[in-house]
Amino acid sequence: MQLVIVDTGCANISSVYFAFKRLGVDATISREAKRIKAADKVLLPGVGTAHNAMAKLQQAELIDTLQSLQQPLLGICLGMQLLTGHSMEGDVPCLNLIPGEVLPMQSAGLRLPHMGWNTLKNISNHALMRGFNETDYMYFVHSFAVASSQYSLALCHYGSDFAAVIGKDNVAGAQFHPERSGKTGARLLQNFLEWRL
Amino acid sequence: MLAKRLIPCLDVRDGKVVKGVQFRNHEIIGDIVPLAQRYAEAGADELVFYDITASSDGRVVDKSWVRRIAEVIDIPFCVAGGIKTIADAGKILEMGADKISVNSPALARPELINELNHNFGQQCVVVGIDSFFDVVSGQYQVYQFTGDESRTQKTQWLSRDWVAEVLSRGAGEIVLNCMNQDGVRQGYDIAQLRSIRDICTVPLIASGGAGTMQHFTDVFEKADVDGALAASVFHKGIIEIAALKAKLIADGISIRP
C-alpha cells in the first residue's frame, strides 16, 4: 500500500501522518506530481484558508494532477472543501471533483467556529461509512461548510444541516478531523485504506 | 448535537509533567506521553499542555515533546506557554499540536493575535486570560506572568475589555482562568464566566476551581461555557473522567460518552 499525503504545507500534516502510522501504514509526504500519480491512495490534508491552499497547489503545479487521479482520493477538513467547485472563503475556484460549494455556516446564532465533538446523521452505506452510526462523535473545527446534496455520505447538524462526508466516484472528503477523532476517526481512515473502487 | 468538552490540563517543565500525579491509583510522575495517552483513553475530549516556566524565565524551550504526544494522541491538543512569535507557533503546530494558546506574550504585544490568526487561521488561536477579582475595586482584572509568583503582575486591562480586544484581533477560543478560584476546588467562578459569556462570540473554556462533579454541571448549566478545564481533580484522582461524563449525561448535558 503506497499512500501519499499531499504536502500542502498545512499545519496538520504530521497529525495525519501519525494517524496512519498508528494503523500500520507509513505514508509518504510529497508534493511531486510523479509520486502522487503513482500512489495507490492519495490524501489531501488541509488547515487554513481555501485561498492560501489553492494558491499552494497552484504553485506546486498540482491542480491537474489531483484532478486526473483515478485512485481513491480523500480530503480532510479544508482538503475536503477543496474537492468542491468553489469556496466563498476567499471566493476561490477549487478542484471541482465533487459538485458543491463551500459557504459560510448557517449556524442560526450558535457560536462559530463550530469547534468540538459532534454526531453524524443520514449516514449512507458507502464503503467509507462502514461501521458508523448516529451515536458516533467526530471532532470538527470550521466556519465554512458544504451544503447537503446527493453527494453527501453523512450529514452533521449545527444550527442547520451540512455535509460531514462527501463522495463521488474515486473522490471523497470529510469535514471533521479523523486524525483527531479517537477510535471513530481511525475507523474512517481504516475504511479509506480498505476502500476498493 | 455539539458536545461540551472536558479538558484535563497538564503542567509541563522540560518535557516532564511536574505535578505529582495520581491516576486510577497508579502513581505516574514525570512521563508526559503515557499520561497523555491515558487521559485520551479515559475519555478526555481535548488536552492542554501548559509549559509553566516558559513565559516567565525567557529562555528557549525545547518543545520536542509535542511531536512525541502527536504520535500517540488521537484527540485534539493545545500547547500553551512561551509562544511569542509566529515562528514559535509554527514549530509547535508543525510538530502536530492542533492549537496554540497565548497569554502573557499577547498582553505584551496584542498584534501577536492578529499575526497568529492571519498565518494559521482562527481555529488555532486560543487566548488564555488570568483574571483576578479585586475586592476593593469590585472589578475583574487581568494579570500576567502568573507562572512565576515573584513576577506576577496586574495589567492595565479589565477582563471584559481584554476579552473584547482579543476577539477583535481574531482569537478563536478563550480560556478564562479565574485566579481567585484556582487550586481551591470551590467551584468555577460562575458569575464572572456568565459576564464574559455575554460578550464572547467564540468558544469559551472555564478554568480554575473544579472540585466536585457538581461543579462541572453547574458551569455548563449556569455559564453556558463550551468546555471545562481542570487539573488537580483529574491528576489526584478525585474525579474520574468516565464517572464525570456519566453524571453530566444524567444531568442532561450534551457530552460525548
Residues of B in contact with A19 (CB under 8 A): 74
Annotated catalytic residue: which of B45, B88, B130, B218? B130
A87 reaches B (C-beta below 8 A): no
The three grid cell numbers given for residue B165, joined into one nine-digit string: 480586544
Residues 35-94 on B with a CB inside 8 Å of A are: 40, 45, 67, 70-72, 74-76, 90, 93-94
Average pLDDT over residues B158-173: 97
Going by C-alpha positions, the residue among B161, B91, B93 that lies closest to residue B126 is B93
For residue A136, which residues of chain B lie inside 8 Å, CB to CB?
Answer: none
**Contact B172/A115, CB-based, under 8 Å?**
yes
Active site residue B130: yes
**pLDDT means over runs of 10, chain A (197 residues):** 89 89 97 96 88 90 97 96 95 97 95 96 98 97 95 98 98 97 97 96
Cβ–Cβ gap A141/B98 under 8 Å: yes
Q: Say what the pLDDT of residue B242 is.
A: 96
What pLDDT, on the 0 to 100 scale, is given for residue B249?
Answer: 98
Give residue B23's pLDDT band: very low, low, confident or very high (50, 70, 90). very low
Q: What are the structural domains of chain A?
A: 3-194 (3.40.50.880)
A183, exposed or middle or buried, with CB in 10 Å at 0-12, 13-18, 19+? exposed
The CA distance from B10 to the nearest CA of chain A, in Å, is 19
A118·B2 Cβ contact <8 A: yes
Q: How far is B184 from B178, CA to CA, in rounded Å?
A: 11
Predicted confidence at residue B21, as pLDDT, reads 38
What pLDDT, on the 0 to 100 scale, is given for residue A50? 87
Reduced to 3 states (helix: H, G, I; strand: E, B; else coil), residue B36 is helix
Q: Chain A residue with minimal CA distance to B3?
A: A117
Domains of chain B in start order, with CATH, are 5-250 (3.20.20.70)
Give B110's contacts (C-beta < 8 A, 6+ positions apart): B165, B166, B169
Which one of the listed residues A77, A89, A142, A156 is annotated catalytic? A77
Name every chain B residue with its beta carbon within 8 A of the beta carbon of A141: 76, 98, 123
Half-sphere exposure of B42 (CA within 13 A, CB side): 23
Buried b (16+ CB within 10 A) or exposed e, A143-173: bbbbbbeebbbbbbbbeebbbbbbbbebbbb
Q: Which of B235, B105, B227 minimizes the C-alpha distance to B177?
A: B227
- Can you state the angle between helices B241-250 and B32-42, rounded to 10 degrees? 30
Helix (H, G, I), strand (E, B) or coil at B198: coil
| Candidates A18, A140, A183, partner chain B, best to mutate (most B CBs within 10 A) | A18
Mean pLDDT is highest, among A117-121, B59-63, B144-148, B232-236, for A117-121
Of A158, A155, A177, A181, whose CA–CA distance to A166 is shortest?
A155
Q: In what order do the strands lie in the sheet with A41-44?
A: A28-30, A3-6, A41-44, A73-76, A171-174, A160-168, A152-158
